[in-house]
Amino acid sequence: MKRNIPLKAALLTAVAAAAWGAAPLVRHAQVEGVVSPVMADFVVAVIDRAEADGAALVVISLDTPGGLDPSMRKIVQRILSARVPVAAYVAPPGGRAASAGTFITLAAHVAAMAPNTSLGAAHPVMLGEGSAKMDDDMSAKVTNDAVSYIVGLAKTRGRNEKWAELAVRKSASLEAEDAVAENVVDFVAVDLADLLAKAEGRTVNVAGRDVILRLKGARVEEENPGWRERLLAALADPNIAYILLLLGINGLLFELSNPGAILPGVVGGLCLILAFYSLATLPVNYAGVALIVFALILFIAEIKVTSHGLLTVGGVISMLMGSLLLIDSPAPFMRVSWTVILPAVLLTAAFFIFVVALGLKAQTRKPVTGDRGMVGEQGYALTAVGRQGGQVHVHGEYWEARSETEIPAGAPVEVVGTEKLRLLVKRVE
């Protein structure tokens, strides 16, 4: 199916539908969460299908705290080039279109909000640009670029350009009723049916042509993300990416230290590949990745080197700092949650501490096999035992033995050492 069908073909489809008395088609896509590459691909695909079907309108119900600038621009560019009208609907009640969501809403041909929703706070910091680490000149450039972009969108759709600039420079926000009063959105709609009723008869400019929305009796088709989109959206979560990274590294390290286990290596490799995909969709600070890897190296070194816990403490500090630095964004929704970091760090440290404790216990435990395993075992003398030797019964076996003192036959003895295949024993009082 082609992405951009000719405008003439779309108009012929609409005329044919009207001639046959078919109800106009409305495609409704509900998207929520961080604006990410997965969301951008889904919205683009919905608009593509709407163009191919000659839909009368595409409605994007939006509830987002913001997200990545490239993904936002991809959605905006597709809306601006769409050959069907697109409505952005900030919903449900209590939802928001902050940051990147503000740009998407202002780019739509029709902009509506549900009651008790908000719009704004579009400063570039919230777009994952990491501008908190920029110098003043670079920060000013990024801000000015965002201002010119959002003002251009507002001007194209005949909306409040001054407020659009304030949304970027001052992180201004508006609730639904105020957004209508300030000419930022077109109207407030309590639900999708109310939106279609209020959009009926409006004239919008689509691909350079004025189009009157005829939505009476419209047939609404819901666009829901498939299992692939849901899976990829889950992988784009910073918390999921962090957990996959830890599982992948731990699995591979376990496989390398225990060759032939197979399962840890397979699971670790799979988790690491998925983690790389997840991190590719996020603003990653590779210093954080390096600190996490260094922490695991310190944990492994603790098993091999006696440091009295210093390596473990260093590993915990390194992993904690790496976890905090992993996602390079000042936006809270783009960072790894403390509720994930703390259990992950503690569990990883506890695992390696447990392994170290087992190793120390194994080193201090009395040997149970070989010559050293005989030391401390008790039995009795079968014959008299002295410097010249004799026989003893120890551990259910008959042994040649000798003693520095004379031990009569039948006396209890204890092994104190070995001389090749002969035991050194003493009398037990």
pLDDT tens-digit readout, 396-427: 788 888 888 888 888 899 888 888 778 888 88
Q: Are 186 and 334 in the same domain?
A: no
Is residue 152 scored above 50 in pLDDT?
A: yes
Q: How confident is the model at residue 6 (pLDDT cuts 50, 70, 90)?
A: very low
Residue 417 lies in a domain: yes
Q: Are 221 and 277 in the same domain?
A: no
Is residue 368 scored above 70 in pLDDT?
A: no
Q: Are 281 and 379 in the same domain?
A: no
**Structurally, how many domains does the chain consist of?**
3
Give tens-digit pLDDT for 177-229.
999 999 999 999 999 999 999 999 999 999 889 999 999 989 999 988 877 77
Sheet order of strands, 110-113 included: 187-188, 110-113, 86-90, 57-63, 25-32, 219-223
Residue numbers of the domain that contains 356: 237-364
Comparing 67 with 5, the larger pLDDT belongs to 67
Per-residue model confidence (pLDDT) at position 129: 39
Comparing 16 with 366, the larger pLDDT belongs to 366
Is residue 311 scored above 70 in pLDDT?
A: yes
- Dmax (CA) of the chain: 121
Residue 332 lies in a domain: yes
Mean per-residue pLDDT, 272-285: 81
* Beta-bridge partners for 184: none
Residue 231 lies in a domain: no
Per-residue model confidence (pLDDT) at position 389: 85
Selecting among 61, 71, 99, 118, the annotated active-site residue is 99
Is residue 309 scored above 60 in pLDDT?
A: yes
- Highest mean pLDDT pick, 11-20, 326-335, 406-415: 406-415
Is residue 325 scored above 50 in pLDDT?
A: yes
Per-residue model confidence (pLDDT) at position 15: 45
Mean per-residue pLDDT, 297-302: 79
Is residue 122 scored above 50 in pLDDT?
A: yes
Give tens-digit pLDDT for 18-31.
434 468 999 999 99
Task: List the structure tokens of 315.
Answer: 């590993």
Q: Is 186 left (phi over 0), alpha (psi -120 to 50) or beta?
A: alpha
> DSSP E strands: which ranges in 68-213?
86-90, 96-98, 110-113, 118-120, 173-175, 187-188, 203-206, 209-212
Least confident of 27-36, 193-202, 339-348: 339-348
Q: Are 258 and 286 in the same domain?
A: yes
Q: Are 122 and 12 in the same domain?
A: yes
Q: Are 136 and 74 in the same domain?
A: yes
Is residue 120 scored above 80 in pLDDT?
A: yes
Selecting among 141, 171, 198, 307, the annotated active-site residue is 141
Q: Are 310 and 374 in the same domain?
A: no
Is residue 265 scored above 50 in pLDDT?
A: yes
Q: How confident is the model at residue 175 (pLDDT cuts 50, 70, 90)?
A: very high
Write down which residue in 344, 364, 384 finishes a domain. 364
Q: Is 141 a catalytic residue?
A: yes
Q: What is the CATH number of the domain that holds 404?
A: 2.40.50.140
Q: What is the CATH number of the domain that holds 111?
A: 3.90.226.10
Q: How confident is the model at residue 133 (pLDDT cuts 50, 70, 90)?
A: low
Say which residue the tokens 């088609």 belong to: 25
CA distance 50 to 39: 17
Q: Are 291 and 346 in the same domain?
A: yes
Write down which residue in 320, 345, 364 finishes a domain. 364
Comparing 366 with 153, the larger pLDDT belongs to 153
Catalogue the long-range contacts made by 410-413 (C-beta closer than 8 Å, 24 or more residues apart). 410/380, 410/381, 411/380, 411/381, 412/378, 412/379, 412/380, 413/378, 413/379, 413/380, 413/381, 413/385
Mean per-residue pLDDT, 306-322: 83
Write down which residue in 364, 379, 411 finishes a domain. 364
Residue 39 lies in a domain: yes
Residue 2 lies in a domain: no
To the nearest whole percent, how much of the chain has pLDDT over 70?
85
Secondary structure element (H or E) that encloses residue 426, with its range: strand 422-427
Q: Are 285 and 168 in the same domain?
A: no
Q: Are 194 and 286 in the same domain?
A: no
Q: How confident is the model at residue 332 (pLDDT cuts 50, 70, 90)?
A: low
Secondary structure element (H or E) that encloses residue 76, with its range: helix 69-81
* Beta-bridge partners for 27: 58, 221
Q: Are 377 and 326 in the same domain?
A: no
- Highest mean pLDDT pick, 195-209, 220-234, 261-275, 281-295: 195-209
Is residue 362 scored above 70 in pLDDT?
A: no
Q: Are 104 and 71 in the same domain?
A: yes
Per-residue model confidence (pLDDT) at position 172: 92
Residue 298 lies in a domain: yes
Is residue 372 scored above 90 in pLDDT?
A: no
Residue 384 lies in a domain: yes
Residue 207 lies in a domain: yes
Q: How much is the mean pLDDT over the chain?
A: 83
Least confident of 4-13, 28-37, 367-376: 4-13
